[in-house]
Amino acid sequence: MIQMDAIISHGSSGSPVCNEKGDVIGLATFGSLEQNNSSLASGYNFAIPLSVLKEYLDSAKVKPQVSEATVLYNEALSFYYNSYYTKALKRFKEVKKINSNYPQLNTFIHLSKQKIDRGEDKESFVQRYFFRLISIIVIVFGIYVYYRWKKSK
């Protein structure tokens, strides 16, 4: 156990405990109660060291990994901040199906829809001009084939 003076309140057990560099060194577990009033005693809070947690996970054959929702959310944020709002919106909606309580999820869905409606999506811009270019190429090729056919007759 690591004894610490950081406050652990009800509901914060399971939170990471970090050192001054921001490295996770343990997991907040419990605090001691004051004898007089049953409130948490400051300075008597405890955490499980990271080395103990890793040993426990190894013995239980648990392989920690990032959740599917987190992977999708991170992809969505990347698409969003690179102005690919259609792709971002799709990922945000997938996250919502898995876990609708992600931070700012509904805000990002709303903002993505707004940006798509205003034509700010890079992908829709590329798609729009790509299909126009393909259409022009098909028309020009069709005219060329028609005249070659007509000339050979």
Under DSSP, the state recorded for 36 is T
Q: If you count them, how many residues does the chain have?
A: 153
Indicate the number of domains in the chain. Answer: 2
Domain identity same for 75 and 115: yes
Assess if residue 26 is contained within a domain. yes
Q: Residue 124: which residues within 8 A CB-CB, separation 6 or more?
A: 86, 116
29 and 76 housed in the same domain: no
- 113 in a domain, yes or no? yes
Q: 116, 128 in Cβ contact below 8 A? A: no
Work out the burial of residue 134: count CB atoms within 10 Å of its CB; fewer than 13 is exposed, 13-18 middle, 19 or more buried. exposed
Say if 88 falls within a structural domain. Answer: yes
Query: Are both 89 and 115 inside the same structural domain?
Result: yes
Would you say residue 32 lies in a domain?
Answer: yes
- CATH number of the domain that residue 21 is part of: 2.40.10.10
The answer to whether 50 and 26 are in contact (CB under 8 A) is yes
Does residue 135 fall inside a structural domain?
no
**Residuewise pLDDT in 10s, the chain (153 residues):** 777 777 776 667 778 888 899 999 988 887 666 666 666 556 677 888 988 988 988 999 988 888 999 999 999 999 999 999 999 999 999 999 999 988 899 999 999 999 999 988 887 656 667 777 888 899 999 998 988 888 887
Q: Which residues contact 63 (CB under 8 A, 6 or more apart)?
A: 57
Q: Which domain holds residue 10?
A: 2-59
